[in-house]
């Protein structure tokens, strides 16, 4: 049996409370996107083999498989075919989606019935936010509870619960600009940066009031103008949390230019997703393509290398399909070309296609 999984990217719109003096920390706000996405196929195999992944992505996949197989005592020898992958370290949630796609796919193959919340914990996801987890499960606009703190004021291992989850309007779109050169923080760098913060309670109070009295009411009433203003201010206030470690409200000077141009070109709201560098603008569906074209022109004029996409929010979770009796050699990759790796899990050795035997 094979399992094919298509996951969602997400925009991380902000945190409600990094102070934590009420017994919880973080409290994330985010929305699932239909594009870009990660799509993989997992098939039982004689060796651990990875197709259509560069060396860095291949090693990340191997790390996920090793974490899963070490915990559940399963056979790590599978074929992973990467059909699409979310751009990495751009603030779009690629790490969580890859880990969940692999671990949930392996759970299907080996008959493991643990809930996604438990699998996420085992895979090291949900340490601060559950937006990626909830995007995988259900999609939509999501606000989580934040991480409960123990008696030493350290976050517990369990991912945050979902406080609110709403379908996002079909008539609203996001124009997402992804600069190519800059990468956002992740892993140990992100952990170190978070440890340097001394969050203000005043900022948390402003954000919570903004969310409860403007962001959510305008969303429910479908007032895109007020909702967009709330998004912009939420992003700005969240940026004040991180100003000491990223050198400003946004991760780089270019981000200020991109956000200002989005707003001056008609976006109802704009901001930086997570650590960036991805920048988003909120638009009506009928105006989104024109706004995207304006951003492409702006990138070209200012010699900024990047990609601009129009993305709908997704109100459904990951797509998971079981495929029976598949020959691994005949799986279509969905790409015209790619790299083929066979991986020795324990020696951490990656070899190109020319050096390995036919499966």
With CA atoms as reference, report the closest residue to 144 among 124, 127, 164.
Answer: 164
Neighbours of 261 (CB within 10 A): 22
Structure tokens at 268: 């109802």
Query: How far are the Cα atoms of 72, 171, 200, 334 from residue 295, in angstroms, in the given order?
Result: 47, 20, 34, 28
With CA atoms as reference, report the closest residue to 331 among 4, 98, 55.
Answer: 4
Residue 182, pLDDT score: 67
Task: Tell me what the pLDDT averaged over the chain comes to.
Answer: 88
Task: Give residue-wise pLDDT tens across range 139-178.
Answer: 999 999 999 999 999 999 889 999 999 999 999 999 999 9
Rounded to two decimals, the pTM is: 0.86
Q: Topology of domain 2-355, per CATH?
A: Ribosomal Protein S5; domain 2 (3.30.230)
pLDDT at 43 > cutoff 60:
yes
Domain residue limits, the chain? 2-355
Query: How far are the Cα atoms of 148, 202, 295, 312 from residue 300, in angstroms, in the given order?
Result: 45, 40, 9, 24
With CA atoms as reference, report the closest residue to 210 among 11, 20, 25, 29.
Answer: 29
Task: Give residue-wise pLDDT tens across range 242-287.
Answer: 887 777 888 888 999 999 999 999 999 999 999 889 999 999 999 9
């Amino acid at each position: 049996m094979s399992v094919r999984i298509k996951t969602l990217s997400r925009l991380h719109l902000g945190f409600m409370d990094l102070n934590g003096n009420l017994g919880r920390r973080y409290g994330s706000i985010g929305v699932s996107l239909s594009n870009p996405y990660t799509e993989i196929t997992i098939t039982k195999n004689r060796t651990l083999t990875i197709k259509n992944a560069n060396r860095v992505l291949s090693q990340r996949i191997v790390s996920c498989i090793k974490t899963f197989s070490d915990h559940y005592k399963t056979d790590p020898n599978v074929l992973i075919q990467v059909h699409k992958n979310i751009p990495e370290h751009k603030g779009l949630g690629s790490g969580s989606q890859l880990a969940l796609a692999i671990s949930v796919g392996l759970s299907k193959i080996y008959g493991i019935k643990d809930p996604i919340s438990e699998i996420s914990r085992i895979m090291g996801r949900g340490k601060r936010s559950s937006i990626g987890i909830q995007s995988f499960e259900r999609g939509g606009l999501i606000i989580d509870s934040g991480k409960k703190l123990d008696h030493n004021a350290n976050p517990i291992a369990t991912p945050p619960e979902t406080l609110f989850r709403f379908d996002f309007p079909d008539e609203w779109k996001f124009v997402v600009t992804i600069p190519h050169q800059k990468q956002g923080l992740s892993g140990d760098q992100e952990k170190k940066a978070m440890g340097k913060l001394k969050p203000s309670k005043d900022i948390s109070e402003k954000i919570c009031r903004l969310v409860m009295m403007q962001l959510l009411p305008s969303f429910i009433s479908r007032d895109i103008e007020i909702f967009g203003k709330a998004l912009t201010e939420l992003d700005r206030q969240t940026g004040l949390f991180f100003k000491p470690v990223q050198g400003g409200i946004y991760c780089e000077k270019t981000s200020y230019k991109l956000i200002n141009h989005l707003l001056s070109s008609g976006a109802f709201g704009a901001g930086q997703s997570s650590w960036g560098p991805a920048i988003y603008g909120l638009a009506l569906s009928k105006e989104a393509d024109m706004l995207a074209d304006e951003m492409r022109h702006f990138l070209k004029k200012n010699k900024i290398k990047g990609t601009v996409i129009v993305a709908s929010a997704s109100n459904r979770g990951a797509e998971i399909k079981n495929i029976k009796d598949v020959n691994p050699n005949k799986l279509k990759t969905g790409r015209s070309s790619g790299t083929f790796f066979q991986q020795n899990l324990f020696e951490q050795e990656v070899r190109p296609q020319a050096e390995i035997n036919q499966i």
